[in-house]
Structure formats: structure tokens, C-alpha cells
Amino acid sequence: MSWAGISLLLLLPLLIAFWGLRRIWRTRKPNEPPLDRGVVPWLGHALEFGKDSAEFLTQMKEKHGDIFTVEIAGKFVTFLLDPHSFDAVFWAPSDKLDFGKYAEILMDRMFDVRLPTSNMNKERAVLKSHFQNESLTDLTKSMFHNLNIILLNGSSCPISEWKEEGLLAFVYKVMLRAGYLTLFGRESEQHSDSHSPAKDVRHSQEVYKEFRKLDQLLMKAARKTLSRGEKKEADAVKRRLCQLVTINSHKDKYCKSSWFEYYRRHLEEIEVNEEMQSRALILQLWATQGNVGPATFWLILYLLKSPEAMLAVKGEFERTFQSFKDRNTDIKEINQDLLDNMFILDSALNEALRLTAAPFITREVLADMSLKLADGREFRLRRHDRVCLFPYVSPQMDPEVYRDPEVFQYDRFLSANGTEKTFFYKNGKKLKYPNLPWGAGSNVCVGKRHAVNSIKQFVCLLFFYFDFELKNPSEKIPEFDRSRYGFGVVQPNQDISFKYRRKS
């Protein structure tokens, strides 16, 4: 080895130590956001943040204002909580603020997925085409058919007999299984095939059973806090899911979505091996279905807990589908025009999402940069830090934007003429983003309209075919599982019992 090489080896530990000490001794520089490092070096605010992110960030906002930097387990994160300034992050150049690096970290931690680096913006543009126009129409038709399969063939509920179940368990099970069949395909192209529904019911139930086990471990996996036993369990569940959901086993299925065919070809083109392909499919199953079930659960629960809201939404449903009742026939289709004109249901869904959708919108800072806020202030951000928006705190739960923000008001997003209300204000200015359950900017959820259509179809079919009510109407709405903050729609910390029966 040369003297230069030996010198480098000797200097490397010193350089690493120097870099570490600089982070330990980090102080706020001019024009940087307020810096709050907590009491314990390196750990910083990790415990408070992990325990209840929403409460912690609300307290930090009261202390420091709409922008501040905190240390969390050695990472410096700048939180921006001024919704008027979100565009500064949404539309920042990708060579300054990057979404992909953090996404890759989570993909590896949660699903053991490691894919070749690719152009994410280009991929999103292609993916978007598979969830709109004719593709959206096909998805809506397929989801309607699959909801019927699961609800009517898979509910095992005799007509007129009440059955008790956890509301989250029931809703999540139906939505994930129907969504899985819609995107990944089913056994037969012919809706009249008497054998295929039974196969699809059984297979989708197996997928849901394993998925739900994994879903309950993913938040710890994302934060690297799984115990040894939990890590072993998560690995075993992922292996079983990979056996159930493989590229090869789905090649010959019928009614696969155009999205699935595109994604299958994409994985083959980037030369991903078969095992990694299966892992990637499990990741996509969670990404496409992991929020839809919980969102539907909260909507149904809020309706059940609000007689006024239930009456209004049910009244709109009955007016929309009166012709089917008059003819005493089943609903054969719920097309886009019908779905788009159910404004009361839309408002109730938006309100349920406002109360429960709590994703972090995160970017890695790739280079020292200046972030200009809507009020003209500019703040310097450091390379290797992270920027995070948390719309749940503001605007969604901001009392200046929404009166009584903790209360479910089904008509909050209805205008005086009965159409969607889009005008909400903060500091006297109209908000561009008053509610952000689906993200925004370059990272808005490409499957938003399909997800909304699926939820609304489920509600309509539930109204049409079932009577349902809470087992104990006076039971309180469950608290949130606060470990879910940051990953989309939160889930309850416990289920709530309801009962349902097929109408005669």
C-alpha cells in the first residue's frame, strides 16, 4: 500500500469523528429556521416525535412558528407547517429536494425491495395514464364486479340474520380483497363462471390474512424498531405473501388492470429477479390498498355516529338509485356520472379524510439551498437534512381554517348550491391546499380517482344490500393508533363492533 493510501486510512477516522462532532455541536446559523435539538445529544426529540407526532409538532409550532428544525435520532428535519408555502417544497427542483432517496430507504426497510435507480417522474407520468380516462372506466367496472363478489359471495351472511364483526376488520377485508382482484386479476373473464368467484373469494382471503399481519408490523419496520421476534415474524409473513402474489402466478389471470401489465413489463425490463419482483408486488399491494380500507372504515364509522350525516348521505343514495328500487332489480353498474354527482357523499368522505389522513410529505435536501415562503421570508436549508410537511396539523386541524376542526361535519365541503366547496382561508388568503389526504404537486397520488370511486361504490352497495348498525351505538369512537402518523390514513387503536345483515 502507498503512503498516500496509509495516510488516507489514518485520516479517515479523524474525518468521520470531525463530521460527527460538527453535527453534535450544530448551532443555528443566520437565516436558518429555529433549531430545537432537545436535551439528549443525537437522540434529540425522537421519543416525543415517535410517541405522538401530531401533538409534538403542534407544540413545536406554538413555540417556534410555521418553520423549525428539530433533531430526531441524529437526523435534522425541517418542518414547514405554513400551507400557503407548500408549493416551495412541492415544485422545488429535484436536484435540490428529492423524494426518491427517502422512498428507497422505506422500500428497503419495510419490504426488502431494492430496485435499480430510475426516473421516478417519468414512471409517475406513465403510471398516471393507467388510472385515468378509459383505464379509470375499466377499473371502476372491475371494482364494482369484485365488490359484488366479495360482499355477496364472501360475506357468509344469510339473508335477514344479523352477523357481528369488527367494523375495521369487515371494511378493510372487503376493500383490500376487491382492490387486489381489480388490479392483479381474477380467475375468469366470464362473470357467469360459477367456479371462479369461489376461487377468487378463497385466494383473496388468504392474501388479506397475510397482508393484515404484515400491515400491523410495517410501522415498526419503517422506524427500525422491530424486536427480534417481530422481525422473524415479518420475514415469514413476507415470504408467504410472496408465494401468494407472484408475477408468474398472475400472468394467466383474467381482467388484470393495464397498470399491472405495465408494472410487470417494467420489472422485467429493468432485469429484476423473480424474488424481487414478488417483493415489489407486495409493496405495490400496500401502496395501492393500504389506505383505502382504513379511509372507508372512518367514513362508515362517522356516518354511524352522526344520524344527521347518515340521513343526508342515505337520502342522496336513495334519490340516485331510486329507479333500481322501483324495478326491484340489482344494481348492474355504478358509472362515473353517478359517482361524480354524489356531492354529499363526496363531502362526507373529504371530511373523514381531513380528520384521519396524516401523511408526512418528505424530501431529502441534496444541496445547500434557500427556501422562500409565501410571506417573503427566506430560510437556508443544509445539505443532508430533510424537509417535511405535515398537513394534518395545518391546514387540516387548524382552527383558523376549520371551525371546530376536531368535529366531523359531513357538509363542511358542500357549497350553498350543493356542489363541492373549495374556498377555505388562512390569514385572510384563500388556501390552494385546504385538505391534502392525497398529497399534491409532483407526488400527488396517481390513483386518487380510482380510490375515491372504490370507496363510494362500496358505500352504495352497502346501503343497497345490507342493514347495518353499531352493536353499541353509545360506544366512543376509538383513539388513533398514533404510530401510524406519517404513513397515510391512520387506523384505530382498537376495532369497534358492528352488526349487519342482508336485506330480504
Annotated binding site for substrate: 109, 115, 291, 386
How far apart are alpha carbons 416 and 396 in whole angstroms? 21
Residue list, annotated binding site for heme: 445
How far apart are alpha carbons 406 and 393 in whole angstroms? 11
Name the E strands within 26-180.
35-36, 67-72, 75-80, 97-98, 163-166
How far apart are alpha carbons 246 and 207 in whole angstroms? 12
DSSP assignment letter at 492:
B
DSSP helix/strand/coil, 341:
coil
How far apart are alpha carbons 344 and 149 in whole angstroms? 27
As beta bridge partners, residue 71 has 76
CA 492 to chain centre: 15
Euclidean distance between the first and final Cα of the chain, in Å?
Answer: 85
Strand (E) or helix (H) holding 118: none
Cβ contact 85:66 at 8 Å: yes
Which residue in 436, 393, 371, 487 sits closest to 89, CA to CA? Answer: 371
DSSP helix/strand/coil, 425:
strand
Which residue in 106, 82, 143 sits closest to 389, CA to CA? Answer: 82
What value does the CA radius of gyration of the chain take, rounded to a whole number of Å? 24
Residue list, annotated binding site: 109, 115, 291, 386, 445
Residue 32: all three cell numbers together = 436558518
Query: What dihedral angle (degrees, nearest 10) is formed by the CA atoms of 321, 322, 328, 334?
Result: -10
Asked if the bond preceding 395 is cis, omega within 30° of 0, the reply is: yes
DSSP assignment letter at 73:
T
Cβ contact 55:66 at 8 Å: no
Residue 400: all three cell numbers together = 383558523
Burial of 285 (0-12, 13-18, 19+ CB in 10 A): buried
Residue 201: all three cell numbers together = 373469494
